[in-house]
Chains A and B, each alone.
Chain A
Amino acid sequence: MLELLIGAALLALVVIFVTAPLRRARQSGPIVDPEIADLEARKEAKYREIRDAQLDHAVGKLSDDDFRRQDAELRREAIEILKRLDRLQGRSP
């Protein structure tokens, strides 16, 4: 009997907690658009790559020529991401 009571109480708590989102109206879109979040993450990763290349150049691992070529390519890729982000957010640069 005690087992049943404890089980029922726990079950009720879990059901209330877990099904709370289902009792809301169907959500049309996320609060934070996951695609924007993904692009933001890709942008941060690209920035990190650019900074890494800058540091590699500063400490002498990359020659001037190699750095110029790499930096230009990475910046081009970063700008592509920024453009896509702006298109999704409906704003201009």
Chain B
Amino acid sequence: MIELGSAALTLAFLTALYAIVAALIGRDGDRRWIESSRRAVYALCMLLTLCVVVIEIAFAGDDFSFNIVQQHSSIETPTFYKFTAMWSSQEGSLLLWAWVLSIAASAALFATRAKLREIVPYATAVMMGVAAFFVGLMLFAKNVNPFAGLDPAPADGVGLNPLLQHPSMMVHPPMLYSGYVAFTIPFAFAVGALITRRLDAAWIRSTRRFALIAWAFLGIGLLLGARWSYTELGWGGYWAWDPVENAALMPWLMGTAFLHSIMVQEKRGMLKVWNVSLIVATFSLALLGTFLVRSGVLQSIHAFGDSTVGPYILALIGVVLIGSVVLISSRLDDLRSERRMDSLASREAVFMVNNLLLIGLCAVIFWGTFFPLISELFTGDRASLAAPWFDRYTTPLAIVLVLFTGIGPLLAWRRVSWRSARRIFIWPAAIAALAALLLALTTDAASNPWALALFAFGAFALTGLAQEFWRGGAARQAVSGGSMAVAMVAVAARNRRRYGGYIVHAGIAVLLIGIAASSSFQTNRDVSLRPGQSTVVNDYRITYERPTASVNDRAFTFGAVLDVKKDGERFALLNPTRRYFRPTGTPTPTVRSFFAGESTSEVGLKAGFKSDFWTAVQTDISGIERRARMADERFREVMAVLAQRVQRDPAQAPAAARFARDVLDRTAGRVAELYSSQAPAATFRVIVNPLVSWMWIGALIALIGALIAIWPSAEARRRRVTSLYGARLGRELSRA
């Protein structure tokens, strides 16, 4: 198996290099070479798929002759997680990068097989250059070959980090990587357009969908990461401004700016320099994200990402940036706008403001993320910027962004007259003012003006978007009749890109309202309770009913049953727990060894539309550890007797091992029972998080909107007519 994987990986590298050469030979018009280079990309995809299949078979079959399997899995690792253990390793992540890129490149080249004749060869060369870089890293860099073998093969593996054994972690890394990787496609076509000076909107039209897919994948990845943090890390938040989180957020923000500004180029022939610069920045930030996850240069909760490939990725970022700047500078004449902006009261003007806000956010996050390195460079001390610093600068920018998220969709391209503007804005502005007034009078929202402003702007955006659907439906109804609901669906189906975008905007507005409410009006309390004791947090009476404890081969689980009452009625019965994992492969297993490995939190959560009741437990295990030490001393005595017996009669070794295992299990079981019967006080973090569910719901709405916008519309079908131009135009327009 190792031989098959190694051969496929080596061949993948050669195939990527061949694709570059064939594409460049074919750039002068011999379609056979272009076709051959495209086939080489498909072949690369098949070879890397073979590599992934080989690795997955090795994980599933506990083949510890593979170093990657031995280091990141074990016999005890649940089967479900064995299939996802590949990307917890550095070499597996690199393979995932290259594999996803080969799939995206194949799809892009298939979609453009009859288009962009001049650009495609260069785009192929760029995509395959990136693919060859990552495959080359696996083959030539130190300790990152996924097919490195171990001889003789160990009997068991080290195991998968327990923190990564969470359903979100199955999907979170591949989603983030797919997002990073898919931005390679618009970047490669932008470079192709720059080289060939074909700088109209053709490259944008052919790659816009890939940029949107990348944006959606990155968004899902961010969301799953936030969900994992909320339910698994036990600190109570979903976003910690951790460097690796920020590294994924930055290309997402830059990609959002790109998706908006390319519309301006498509519609108005403007912002050409801006667009190629944005996609270069987005792709560079995607590479930077990969670098940060894998380099370990900044302190992060993603400490499992230690790496040896950081300097190489940094070098690639340097090449991308320098090469792109030189290329853009040499094409400035061709990048001149075809038109000027007609009016500030136009959609393109709002998109410009929106772009500046997104880039401002990105710049703040970039500065905050890299401040430790910057401060070390200038002062010799590594100083970090904490969450309050990020909040101080990102909050006002995010609030204004919500306002422009609402204004943009309401305006037409080119120019909006004042009379039209008044008609369009009156309802959203009135509802926003009313919402602000009501919230100020009936809640404590006025105590936080930023939050109040965000709620008002959110109401403005949502009302404006609802109005867009209503007016679109009414226009359709006037022509076709039928009910308003059917008319609204029909107009959205006919204009998927526009209305999909509106739904994304609505989702983002809802998401930001959820973030503002949960971060500004959260109640967060740490309380220490003994079994039977109660405390009150907000409207909730919390009683520590009883402790819970269990043990299995992999972990001790200590927890608490909490009875939560509201208005005298049972609101929830929660069981937050803390798990202590025994490191796999401990030479002489003992009870105490369980407390030498990783520990994770399983939170008690009662989610609701109005608020979430969230709790995590921090158990006091000092008493348990003392008992475990005593138990281990007894256990060692038993082991010494067994060892003497085995020395006298080696045939008794298997029976002795079984007996020792049985003694250890029973001892661990007694320690668990002891905790249940004599549990000390436990510390509970109790959080009441208002409207936080709307954050997840908003993200889901945005995702649905993105899917609608990505889906090809009926108008993409080709039409053939032979009438006079004017009549023909009218007829063709009326068809889709």
Contact = CB atoms under 8 A, between A and B. Distances in A.
B410 A61 contact: yes
A55 interface: yes
A26 to B, nearest CB: 6
B400 to A, nearest CB: 22
B412 interface: yes
Contact of B715 (A19, A34, A48, A75): A48
Interface string A6-48: 1100110010011111101011001110110110111011011
B415 interface: yes
B600 interface: no
B105 to A, nearest CB: 15
Contact of A22 (B7, B32, B495, B736): B32
Contact of B498 (A42, A52, A91, A92): A52
Interface stretch (B57-65, B130-138, B626-634, B716-724): B716-724
Nearest to B15: A14
Interface in B380-432: 410-417, 419-420, 423-424
Contacts of A26: 30, 32
B3 A45 contact: no
Given A34-B117, A49-B267, A82-B725, A7 B33 contact: no
Contacts of B553: none
Contact of B475 (A11, A38, A41, A55): A55
Given A34-B115, A55-B475, A66-B415, A47 B410 contact: no
A6 B725 contact: no
Contact of A44 (B116, B267, B716): B716
A30 B114 contact: yes
B715 A44 contact: yes
B665 interface: no
B152 to A, nearest CB: 18
A83 interface: yes
Contacts of A14: 11, 15, 43, 47
A61 B10 contact: no
B725 A83 contact: yes
B481 to A, nearest CB: 15
B31 interface: yes
Given A47-B732, A59-B472, A18 B39 contact: yes
Given A47-B733, A55-B472, A55-B475, A93 B723 contact: yes
Interface string A62-93: 11011000100001001100110000000111
B201 A10 contact: no
Nearest to B409: A61
- Among B42, B202, B495, find the residue whose CB has the most chain A CB atoms closer than 10 A: B202
A61 B715 CA distance: 23
B210 to A, nearest CB: 15
Contacts of A32: 114
B3 A2 contact: yes
A17 B42 CA distance: 9
Interface string B482-496: 000000000100010
B18 interface: yes
Interface string B632-667: 000000000000000000000000000000000000
B413 A38 contact: no
A20 B475 contact: no
B413 A10 contact: no
B728 interface: yes
Interface string B205-235: 1100000000000000000000000000000
Contacts of A3: 3, 6-7
B242 interface: no
Contact of B202 (A11, A24, A38): A38
A40 B718 contact: yes
Contacts of A22: 32-33, 36
A27 B31 contact: yes
B11 A52 contact: no
A61 B411 contact: yes
A63 to B, nearest CB: 4
Contacts of A24: 32
B205 A41 contact: yes
B344 interface: no
A30 B117 contact: yes
B267 to A, nearest CB: 6
A41 B202 contact: yes
A19 B722 CA distance: 41
B56 interface: no
B88 to A, nearest CB: 28
Contacts of B205: 41, 45
A56 B266 contact: no
Contacts of A62: 412, 416, 420
- Among A6, A49, A52, A55, find the residue whose CB has the most chain B CB atoms closer than 10 A: A55
A52 B501 CA distance: 14
Given A2-B3, A7-B7, A18-B40, A55 B32 contact: no
Given A44-B715, A83-B725, A60 B116 contact: no
Contacts of B117: 30, 34-35
Contacts of B417: 63, 65-66
B420 A19 contact: no
Contacts of A44: 715-716
A83 B729 CA distance: 11
A12 to B, nearest CB: 10
Contacts of A42: 200-202
A55 B716 CA distance: 18
Interface string B27-63: 0001111011001101100010000000000000000
Nearest to A1: B3
Nearest to B717: A44
Interface string B16-32: 00100010000000111
Contacts of A58: 471-472, 475, 478
A87 to B, nearest CB: 12
B201 A59 contact: no
Contacts of A2: 3
A82 B497 CA distance: 24
A12 B214 CA distance: 35
Contact of B115 (A7, A18, A41): A41
A31 B35 CA distance: 12
Interface of A: 2-3, 6-7, 10-11, 14, 17-22, 24, 26-27, 30-32, 34-35, 37-38, 40-42, 44-45, 47-53, 55-56, 58-63, 65-66, 70, 75, 78-79, 82-83, 91-93
20 contacts: A3-B7, A14-B47, A17-B39, A17-B42, A34-B115, A34-B116, A40-B718, A45-B201, A52-B267, A52-B498, A61-B410, A61-B416, A61-B420, A62-B412, A62-B420, A63-B419, A66-B416, A70-B414, A79-B729, A93-B723
Interface of B: 3-4, 6-8, 10-11, 15, 18, 22, 30-33, 35-36, 39-40, 42-43, 47, 114-117, 200-202, 205-206, 266-267, 410-417, 419-420, 423-424, 468, 471-472, 474-475, 478, 491, 495, 497-498, 715-716, 718, 722-726, 728-729, 732-733, 736
Q: Sort A-B residue pairs by CB-CB distance and give the 7 closest, nearest first.
A: A34-B117, A58-B475, A21-B35, A59-B471, A7-B7, A32-B114, A61-B412
Given A6-B3, A66-B414, 20 more contacts: A7-B7, A10-B7, A21-B39, A30-B114, A37-B114, A41-B205, A42-B201, A44-B715, A52-B495, A53-B412, A55-B495, A58-B478, A59-B472, A60-B424, A61-B411, A61-B420, A66-B417, A70-B413, A75-B726, A93-B722
